[in-house]
Amino acid sequence: MTMKTPSRRYIVCLKPVPDPSRFDKLRLDPETMLLRRGDVPQVVNPGDRHAIEAAVDLKKRFGGTIACLTMAPPDAREQLEEALAMGCDRACLLTDRAFAGADTLATARALAAAVRKLGRFDLILCGCYSADGSTGQVGPQLAELLGIPDLTHALSLRLQGRRLQARCGLQDGTAALEAGLPALVSLDPRANVPPLPPMRGISGALAKKIPAWSAADLGLAPAEVGLAGSPTRMLNVFTPAAGRKGEILQGSANEVAAQLLEKLRGEKILPARGGKGSS
């Protein structure tokens, strides 16, 4: 912990999303098929809170400073202020009309340019998914553009000299992974419990200036960003018809329960009669 390395620099990427607890109030614009974001207040993407907390925790354990970034409309200052309140040291807002309509790649490109502009860094921390788009692509694309290793679904992190050690979640089980710094890591929601931004943090954030960077500030041409720089085109948005096999069991409660047990055993969802867990 008291190694004489230059102070570590962490970067957290975060996204404002419509408050997931009010998703029932969200509507799609029938013309553009995009979310009408004005209908619901924006919050820090819940997944990204885990990245902020992981960075704050690394800072506590290994020292360093945290910068947070978002590419978003100007009112995303609120989400950056919240990240400052949670313990980030500085924040930069990437904002430009030209960024509008960006897909994950154009977003990652703008973020990569901002990371370069920030200078030396050791670790980039992201959430795994955004609550609205939920592609899980921006983190890995950003790592690819920066040419650095990328670990996803991290459950716990350790810094050992110039190496990052992480336990990462897999479909079933976990993997112990290691990467050289600088690296990018995306945090599994199970990694930590992000605390609420404390009031002192909120008032502390008031004193900090948040610079706004345009595409030009980042040295990006209009064709590289926003809709123009996005290879993805959304053709249609629809809810797939869910075709499920439905079966209604008949009889008294006891009979129905017995029939259900038989079926579940037949499908091997429950062990056969007499096995562990049968009643």
Partner 1 sequence: MLDMNFDFPNPVRIVQRTARDFARQAVAPLVAGMEETGRFPKSLVPKMAEVGLLGLVTPRRYGGSELGFLARTVALQEIGRVSAAVACALQVHHMQAAAIQDWGTPAQKEKYLPRLCRGEFLGTVAVTEPTGGSDLLGMATTAVPAAGGYALNGSKCFITNAHLAGAPVVIAKTGEGSRGLSAFIVEKGTRGFAPGREERKMGLRGADTGELFFKNCRVPEQNLLGDEGEGMKAALKTIGEAGRPGMAAIALGILDAALDEAVKFSKSRNLYGKPISNIQAIQWSIADILVDLETSKLLCYRASWLKDQGREDCATAMTLAKLHATEAACRATRKALEIHGGCGAMLEFPVQRLWRDAMVCVSAGGTTEIGKIVLSRSVLA
CB nearer to partner 1: give 82 or 150. 82
Residue from 52, 85, 94, 185 in contact with partner 1 (CB under 8 A):
85
Shortest CB 58 distance to partner 1, Å: 21
148-175 b/e (C-beta count within 10 Å ≥ 16 → b)? bbbbbbbbbbebeeeebebbbbeeeeee
Residue from 135, 203, 232, 278 in contact with partner 1 (CB under 8 A):
203
Residue from 170, 199, 223, 248 in contact with partner 1 (CB under 8 A):
199
Amino acid identity of residue 188, one-letter, is D
Shortest CB 103 distance to partner 1, Å: 28
CB nearer to partner 1: give 181 or 202. 202
CB nearer to partner 1: give 206 or 253. 206
Regarding 26 and contact with partner 1 (CB under 8 A), the answer is no
- Region 38-67 residues binding partner 1, contact defined as CB under 8 A: 41, 43
CB nearer to partner 1: give 127 or 229. 127
Q: For every residue of the chain, which 3-state class applies, written as one string?
A: CCCCCCCCEEEEECCEEECHHHHHHCCECCCCCCECHHHCCEEECHHHHHHHHHHHHHHHHHCCEEEEEEECCHHHHHHHHHHHHHCCCEEEEECCHHHCCCCHHHHHHHHHHHHHHHCCCCEEEEECCCCCCCCCCHHHHHHHHHCCCEEEEEEEEEEECCEEEEEEEECCEEEEEEEECCEEEEECHHHCCCCCCCHHHHHHHCCCCCCEECCCCCCCCHHHCCHHHCCCCCCCCCCCCCCCCCCCCCCCHHHHHHHHHHHHHHCCCCCCCCCCCCC
Residue from 36, 37, 77, 208 in contact with partner 1 (CB under 8 A):
77
Regarding 257 and contact with partner 1 (CB under 8 A), the answer is no
List CB contacts of 22: < 8 A, sequence separation 6 or more.
40, 41
Residue from 62, 68, 72, 82 in contact with partner 1 (CB under 8 A):
82
| Binding region for partner 1 (CB under 8 A) out of 80-88, 139-147, 167-175, 260-268 | 80-88
CB nearer to partner 1: give 200 or 233. 200
Shortest CB 186 distance to partner 1, Å: 23
Contact map string, positions 158 to 197, toward partner 1, x by CB under 8 A: -------------------------------------xxx
Shortest CB 49 distance to partner 1, Å: 11
Shortest CB 18 distance to partner 1, Å: 14
Torsion of CA 242, 36, 78, 83, to 10 degrees: 20
Residue from 170, 176, 206, 223 in contact with partner 1 (CB under 8 A):
206
Binding residues for partner 1 (CB under 8 A): 41, 43, 77-78, 81-82, 85, 195-206
